[in-house]
Amino acid sequence: MLCALIMAGGKGTRFWPLSTENKPKQFLSLLGEETMIQMTVNRIHRVIPYERIFIVTCEEYKKYIQEQLPYIPEENIILEPMGRNTAPCIALSAFEINKKFKNSSMVVLPADHLVRDEERFVSIIRESYGFVDNNPKSIVTIGIKPTRPETGYGYIEYDAKSLNGGLKKVSRFVEKPNIDKAMEYLKNGNFLWNSGIFLWNSNYILELMRQYLKDTYNLLKDVYDGPMEKYDENLKKAYEKAENISVDYAIMEKINNIYVIDGELGWDDVGSWKAISRYNLKDLRENIKMGKVKLINSKNNMVVSSNKKIILADVEDLIVVESDDMIMITKMDNIDKVSSYKDKVQEE
């Protein structure tokens, strides 16, 4: 039996001022009418029914999930009392999923990534599930074939000779490289971008947590073995002591039974305004318009309106973003700097 875990607790502010800690990008419509998390749920629902789709997030974001995804059972919304990186998040969720669907398999997905080739995505998930179902003490991850020397992503090196169907044996996980290393990885040809999508057996990931993240495992196990009427109280105490560490550092870099499948999915983690400029349709004058926008004799602008109508006339090469409480305007050349303006605004 296959379940899905969607991680939706990120506080990302790379799309500031539209995305904030109060409402981060997974709950925004950045690439069409659907929000990022709606796109993710609808995509995985092609393989997994709603009753086996779980979302892990924090208390303050629960309202957005219930508003945007009313068909997800409330008991499938797993709440972290505080952020502790992906390893405790996954351990907590594995305990919860394993309680409801014993010895199931889990596909773990970020809530806010773009996948344009959904047919290929569905095919890869089914192939990966088949492998893990037959090899429950193994892990499959989806890697993305690099198209540029990207320094903003982690990489996966694989053994090109170790084929198992469409799966290749992972040699190592590599953190975000500098530009020279990224160029080297692109040239070598046996490196893939790390998509952050994993598939494993729920019992097996808990076994690995017990082995490599023993203190956190025991803290959470005590919560689930304890009285349910004290669950919230005990979970908060446990999380305060849990290790703040990613699943890559905690486990993936320490084991050797991980396989990667090359996922040419039209994938992007949509991590910046530049990504929005890559994937949103442009008009004949290279403008991107989101929301109530009117452009007059203007070209090569990105204009994002949340509420008010924005009119630009006789201008070019601008980014304009209107959020609930501010309007940000800068030159298109500064597209990579937008999120850095947040700190300067808060200093005032």
> What's the mean per-residue pLDDT of the chain?
90
Residue range 93-100: mean pLDDT, rounded: 94
Q: What is the signed CA dihedral for 273, 278, 280, 281, rounded to 10 degrees?
A: 140
% the chain with pLDDT above 70: 97
How much is the pLDDT for 12? 66
DSSP one-letter code for 244: -
- Is 232 domain-assigned? yes
Same domain, 242 and 116: yes
Same domain, 41 and 134: yes
Same domain, 306 and 245: no
Same domain, 223 and 251: yes
Same domain, 170 and 305: no
% the chain with pLDDT above 90: 60
Same domain, 216 and 76: yes
- Determine the angle formed by the axes of helices 86-100 and 214-225, rounding to 10 degrees: 40
Same domain, 173 and 306: no
Same domain, 261 and 289: no
Q: For residue 285, what are the domain limits?
A: 281-346
Element (H, E) at 58: strand 53-58
Type of residue numbered 295: L
Report the CATH number at residue 168: 3.90.550.10
pLDDT digits (tens, 9 = 90+) for 177-222: 899 999 999 888 889 999 999 999 999 999 999 999 999 999 999 9
Same domain, 112 and 72: yes
Instruction: Report yes or no: 276 and 31 within 8 Å, Cβ to Cβ.
Output: yes
Q: Kindly report the pTM of this predicted structure.
A: 0.90
- Which of 237, 268, 299 is the last residue in one of the domains? 268
- Is 47 domain-assigned? yes
Instruction: Report yes or no: 154 and 193 within 8 Å, Cβ to Cβ.
Output: yes
Does 176 score more than 90 pLDDT?
A: no
How much is the pLDDT for 263? 79
Same domain, 299 and 261: no
pLDDT digits (tens, 9 = 90+) for 237-286: 999 999 999 998 899 888 989 999 987 888 888 777 877 778 788 899 99
3-state secondary structure (DSSP) of residue 5: strand
Same domain, 15 and 161: yes
- Which of 236, 268, 300 is the last residue in one of the domains? 268
pLDDT digits (tens, 9 = 90+) for 108-149: 999 988 898 999 999 999 999 999 999 999 999 999 998 888
- Is 274 domain-assigned? no
- Which of 268, 295, 319 is the last residue in one of the domains? 268
Number of structural domains the chain divides into: 2
- Is 192 domain-assigned? yes
Same domain, 251 and 301: no
